[in-house]
Amino acid sequence: MYNPKLQRFVNQFIVYSILVALVLICLFPVYFVFIGSVNPGQSLHSSKIFPSIADWNWGHYRALFEEHDYVTWYKNTIIIAVSNMVISTVFGVLSGYAFSRLNFKGKRQGLMAIIILQMFPTIMGMTAIYTLLGALNLLDTHLGYILVLSAGSVAFNTWIVKGFFDGIPGSLEEAARIDGASNAKIFLKIMLPLATPIIAFVSFNSFIGASMDFIMAEVILRSSSNWTLAQGLFTLVSGQANNNFTVFAAGAVLISIPLMVLFFVFQRYIVEGMTAGAEKG
């Protein structure tokens, strides 16, 4: 005999079971890295999956600050990531709005150029970037590295933001113009609040990209005092003599803290932006 309540319970049980399994699969690497950071010794292979809390060793975290320039690497990474986030988000939003809402000569060609540039990986232009930065005396400087990261992020952000603005009804702008609003006021008072979700997304994505980048940082930043966390932590496990994998894990855990904080902050703004957009729409 068919029982609707029983069928609903079975369906919910299956769905939630799958979701819990996916969460466990996604979180296990994070858990393993944390356990490795408090594991005695230098190897991750000897880490117990469920060690006793009494066996945890917090000395690897102290070693980061006492034996390595972790604070310098951390500070450099935060400065670079925040700078890239601000620059690439501001220019990405402005250019995305211009391509979406304004008509100007060369608009079509500009969009095609952005698409074509996205087809080529950054690694193909490393030689040109290195030569250009050398000519401008920007090699081994944070400014040069930030400019390279921002230039690479603006094109992607422009395309993403343009697509978002394309989905906003033009009637909102028409109504504002009838009321005497200027283009600047329309952009600041109407479009930006509605675009909060995509602004939060591109900001978070730009911060993550800059903080996790290694290849471009290795090409541009040569002095250890200018290294980012990705470069500094790599020296702990690169080469035959460097095998501080547990210290490396401790450093990875600490760098995840600002990323998680930023995610939760932007998540709140995304929800607020969607709610504001729905109310105004």
Domain ranges of the chain: 4-61, 68-280
- Which of 164, 63, 160 has its CA nearest to residue 118? 160
- In this prediction, residue 29 carries a pLDDT of 81
Examine the pLDDT at 146 and tell me if it is beyond 90.
yes
Report the pLDDT averaged over residues 179-204. 84
Asked if residue 94 lies in contact with residue 157, where contact means CB atoms within 8 angstroms, the answer is no
- The CA distance from 198 to 22, in Å, is 26
What is the distance between the alpha carbons of residues 34 and 260, in angstroms, rounded to a whole number? 15
Lowest mean pLDDT among 43-52, 193-202, 204-213, 234-243: 43-52
Cα–chain center distance at 85? 8
Cα gap 246→39, rounded to integer Å: 7
Q: What is the pLDDT of residue 12?
A: 86
User: According to the model, what pLDDT value does residue 277 have?
Assistant: 38
**Span of 53-57, 152-156, 222-226 with lowest mean pLDDT:** 53-57
Sign (positive or negative) of CA dihedral 38, 39, 43, 47? negative
Provide the pLDDT confidence category of residue 228 given band limits of 50, 70 and 90.
very high
Residues 239/160, Cβ–Cβ less than 8 Å = no
Is the four-CA dihedral 57, 61, 65, 68 of positive or negative sign?
A: positive
Yes or no: say if 48 and 35 are a contact pair by the CB < 8 Å rule: yes
Interacting residues of 151 by C-beta distance below 8 A, sequence separation 6+ = none
**What Rg value do the Cα atoms of the chain yield, rounded?**
24
- In which band, very low, low, confident or very high, does the pLDDT at 233 lie, cut at 50, 70 and 90? confident
The pLDDT of residue 279 is 40
- The position carrying tokens 């980061």 is 64
Residue 250 vs residue 238, higher pLDDT: 250
> Can you give the pLDDT at residue 276?
39
Q: Model's pTM, two decimal places?
A: 0.80
In degrees, rounded to 5, the angle at the alpha carbon of residue 88 between the alpha carbons of residues 188 and 263 is 85
- Does residue 122 contact residue 152 with C-beta atoms inside 8 Å? yes
pLDDT in tens, 17-76: 999 999 888 888 888 888 877 877 666 665 567 767 777 778 888 888 888 888 999 999
CA distance 255 to 246: 15
Q: How many residues does the chain have?
A: 281
pLDDT of residue 44: 62
pLDDT at 269 over 80: no
Listed in order, strand segments (DSSP E) in the chain are none
38-71 burial, b for 16+ CB within 10 Å, e for fewer?
bbeebebeebeeeeeeeeeeeebbebbeeebbbe
Task: Report the candidate in 86, 83, 126 with the shortest Cα–Cα distance to residue 217.
Answer: 126
Is 80 exceeded by the pLDDT of residue 99? yes
Spatial distance between the Cα atoms of 203 and 267, rounded to a whole number of angstroms: 12
Predicted pLDDT at 226 = 92
Whole-Å CA distances, 127 to 15, 54, 123, 133, 140:
50, 52, 8, 10, 15
CB 87 within 8 A of CB 150: yes
Residue 239's pLDDT band, with cuts at 50, 70 and 90, is: low
8 A C-beta contact, residue 16 and residue 5:
no
Domain 68-280 sits in CATH 3.20.20.140: no
Distance CA 49, CA 92 (A): 44
Tell me what the mean pLDDT of segment 79-90 comes to. 93
- Mean pLDDT over the full length of the chain: 82
Instruction: Give mean pLDDT, residues 118-143.
Output: 84
